A = this chain, B = another copy of it.
Amino acid sequence: MSSFTHFNDQGRAKMVDIVDKNETVRIAIAKSSIEVNKAIYDKITNNEIKKGDVLAVAQVAAIMAAKKTADIIPMCHPLALKGVDVSFEWIIKETDEYHLEITTEVKTKGSTGVEMEALTAASVCALTIYDMCKAVDKGMVIGPTYLLEKTGGKNGDFKREINRK
């Protein structure tokens, strides 16, 4: 007596088959952000956080996380990354809000895109900043985190419309 259950036909977990896809250059750019209070802004920019130089550590964490993506995101295909770059920009609003904008850019030559690698790097970058500053204030807020742009692959490029955010 056999009761067959092929869950994948029912929509369960599967790493989709990309064995026939071509290897092309693929680039993805993601953004995240973390809002901090004035005390944290001052300490980061004056390098007075006890755990260390916050942005330097966060950059390393972001790059290492990009490489760990397939280990963290269950259905992600492993990819040999060819370049990862992380940059920061402070946006200080009149209303005394301090936003650190994070931009990650990931490149590979492979048969699937690197959107998840760029998004994971941006998220881990923000989480690392939270970790290093949380002794000062636990009220920091992370996000929005989103894909800004991707190029390469047969499905065409993606570019986020500016008026959406």
**Residues of A with Cβ closer than 8 Å to B?**
1-8, 10-19, 25, 32-33, 47-53, 55-57, 59-61, 63-68, 70-94, 107-111, 115-116, 119-120, 123-124, 126-128, 130-132, 134, 138-147, 150, 158, 160, 164-165
Contact = CB atoms under 8 A, between A and B. Distances in A.
A49 B10 CA distance: 10
A94 B2 CA distance: 11
Total copies of this chain within the assembly: 6
B116 A139 contact: no
B63 A61 contact: no
A68 to B, nearest CB: 7
A110 B12 CA distance: 27
Contact of A1 (B10, B57, B92, B131): B92
B78 A80 contact: yes
